[in-house]
Amino acid sequence: MNFEIIEKLINIIKDRKTNPKEGSYTNTLLSAGENKIIKKLGEEFAEFLKAYLTEPEDRVVSEFADLFYHFLVAFEYKDIDFANVLKELESRHK
């Protein structure tokens, strides 16, 4: 399993925050602000739950990927380092 894509995605989101790119969905979210990001997280979570309960695995995976991306955007908006999540998980399993 390769987790490099997570780091790549985080770096892209960080770059969009400091170097906005016209037409970027990430920039649209970041510039819309915290309430929009939280609303989008809620929508994506609802879509994930629906897929989890009623749809095939490929849809569940797709919806989780969407949800995960939006979590990363929310973290970047608040300047929360995702590495801290990994550290927290590690601390729980020592």
Tokens found for residue 59: 């849809």
Spatial separation of the C-alpha atoms in residues 40 and 8, rounded to whole Å: 22
Say if residues 65 and 45 touch (Cβ distance below 8 Å).
no
Q: What per-residue confidence (pLDDT) applies to 73?
A: 98
CA distances from 24 to 3, 32, 40, 50, 94 (A): 24, 12, 16, 27, 40
- What predicted TM-score, i.e. pTM, was given to this entire model? 0.93
Is the per-residue pLDDT at 1 higher than 80?
no
- CATH class of the domain whose range is 4-92: mainly alpha
Give the domain ranges of the chain: 4-92
Q: Which residues contact 54 (CB under 8 A, 6 or more apart)?
A: none
> pLDDT tens for residues 18-62?
999 999 999 999 999 999 999 999 999 999 999 999 999 999 999
Within 2-81, strands assigned E span none
